[in-house]
Amino acid sequence: MLNEKKVSSSFIYFFGAFGGILFGYDIGVMTGALPFLQQDWGLESATAIGWITSSIMFGAIFGGAMAGQLSDRLGRRKMILISAVIFTIGSILSGVAPHNGSIFLIVVRVFLGMAVGAASALVPAYMSEMAPARLRGRLSGINQTMIVSGMLLSYIVDFLLSGLPVTTAWRLMLTMAAVPAIILFIGVLKLPESPRFLIKNNKLNEARKVLSYIRPKEEIESEIKQIQDTAKEEKLASKNVSWGSLLSGKYRYLVIAGVGVAAFQQFQGANAIFYYIPLIVEKATGNEASSALMWPIIQGIILVLGSLLFLLIADKFKRRTLLTLGGTVMGLSFILPAIINLVIPNASPMMIVVFLSIYVAFYSFTWAPLTWVIVGEIFPLMIRGRASGLASSFNWIGSFLVGLMFPIMTASMSQEAVFAIFGAICLLGVFFIRTCVPETRGYTLEEIEKIGENRQANKKTA
């Protein structure tokens, strides 16, 4: 019986986290497919390239917002199953897009993006509700590791398929995203529903059964009581809090801090590298982008290693210290190539790619995971649901705009100039961290809320 229980909990945590791999795979797969798609369709319009790439993030803006509300009605498990079905259908439809069917592909990828946005919201929520309290602190880091592992997997698949004929290569790359979606669907069929959802829907016996798979017997009743108390507080909060409350004096400081960090994470330009690195290498060296598919794999390995490093150092350094370090190095990595290019016009064109790798290395263990740690702990309970949703929306909007605008910007100015703009935004992000974001490491949620209240009180008396 003990062994069965152990296997059950491992199965639950593995497939609970598997959605992060699927999310990362779908985000990364277009990186390798795009150069082949451009060759096949003769795509030269920077706007069309930007929309095909970023349409998945546009859909994610809405998918993330809807998933939270629907999962409260239908359950976390059922919504993950629906997302897996959308992933599968969207991936297959992407692969069979009609020739020169840019509009068709954009619409399908918006549809697919809704599942991506849903997964980005549902997977952390499901995992945090299933895992015991002592493991929740690392969940943001583990989820980040799963996402970047999914991205790396997509880069490897793109590389392995790159020897096929142009038309077949990109279609198969996009269709292959259905494989992890089907694996997720089969695995989640056997997963239990979140005990928190069951308790909120007065299914106490089912909740006890689920908790018996993943908790010691003596902890089950106390956890049920705790979940019931929290659910009552949240119900009260939903009645008394409106969207306008987020910017009321009591909460304004913490809301601006959390939403600002989420927005800066994307506007700093990381996704310009992840989505367009083959095209960046092509522009820097003159070689075809389809022959530069080793570079995404290198970036993916750096991302995975950085996420593992974060798991080791997450609780050893202050949040603001890591974000300041990361943002400063990231900003300089973007700005220095432009300066060197001005001073030494004949500098090696690969210099920019080396600096981009430095950027990715520091991003991977600072801003990438820490953004979601801060968003998870900075908002007071009364506004947490709405504020977290707002932060997620701003993050996806930033991701969409960077994906859309990067090819348009590089069509009208040099890559070095475009990255220098992103570098300036990185340094603005550091200024924001130092002036507008409180330290949250080591503080309880109540103490963090008090920091916000004290800040507002000091402003009134100043």
Q: What is the pLDDT of residues 149-161, one digit of tens each?
A: 999 999 999 999 9
276/178 same-domain check: no
Domain identity same for 246 and 172: no
Same domain, 247 and 167: no
Residues 247 and 174 occupy one common structural domain: no
Question: What's the pLDDT tens digit per position in 72-118?
Answer: 788 888 998 999 999 999 999 999 999 999 999 999 999 999 998 88
**338, part of any domain:** yes
Inside any domain, residue 97: yes
Q: Is residue 203 part of a domain?
A: no
Question: 234 lies in a domain?
Answer: no
Q: Determine, yes or no, domain membership for 277.
A: yes
- 346 and 252 within one domain: yes
**Same domain for 86 and 177?**
yes
Do 247 and 136 lie in a common domain? Answer: no
Residues 37 and 139 in one domain: yes
The percent of residues in the chain predicted with pLDDT above 70, rounded, is: 93
| Residues 170, 158: Cα–Cα separation, whole Å | 8
CA–CA gap between residue 370 and residue 131 (Å, rounded) = 20
Q: Are residues 161 and 85 in the same domain?
A: yes
**The predicted structure's pLDDT at residue 3:** 37
Which residue positions in the chain have pLDDT lower than 70?
1-8, 133-141, 237-243, 445, 456-457, 459-462
With respect to residue 105, please indicate whether it lies within any of the assigned structural domains: yes
pTM of the model: 0.86
With b meaning 16 or more CB within 10 Å and e meaning fewer, what string describes 402-440? bbbbbbebbeeeebbebbbebbebbbebbebbeeebbeb
For residue 151, count other CB atoms closer than 10 A to its CB. 25
Task: Verify that 156 and 269 share a domain, yes or no.
Answer: no
**Where a domain ends, among 191, 211, 226?**
191
- Calculate the alpha carbon distances from 188 to 106, 123, 127, 140, 182 in Å: 29, 11, 13, 21, 10
Residue 315: what are its φ and ψ, rounded to 5°?
-105, 10
Query: Distance between CA atoms of 114 and 216, rounded to whole angstroms?
Result: 37
Same domain, 245 and 185: no
Of 69, 81, 154, 76, nearest to 115 by C-alpha is 81
Domain end position, chosen among 122, 157, 191: 191
The number of domains in the chain is 2
Per-residue pLDDT at 101: 94
| Three state DSSP letters for 229-268 | HHHHHHHHHHHHCCHHHHHCCCCHHHHHHHHHHHHHHHHC
Per-residue pLDDT, 238: 65
Judge whether 223 lies within some domain: no
Indicate the DSSP class of residue 101.
-
Query: How many H helices and E strands in the chain?
Result: 20, 0
> 306 and 177 in one domain?
no
Q: List the domain range (segments joined by +) for residue 432.
A: 241-462
Given this model, what pLDDT does residue 7 score? 39
Flag whether 363 is in a domain.
yes
What's the pLDDT at 6?
A: 38
Q: Which stretches within 42-138 are classed as H helix?
A: 46-74, 76-95, 102-130, 133-136
Helix H or strand E segment including 445? helix 445-461
C-alpha 254/C-alpha 83 separation (Å) is 32
- CATH number reported for the structural domain that contains residue 318 in this entry: 1.20.1250.20
Last residue of a domain, one of 191, 206, 225: 191
Torsion sign (Cα): 304, 309, 311, 315 = negative
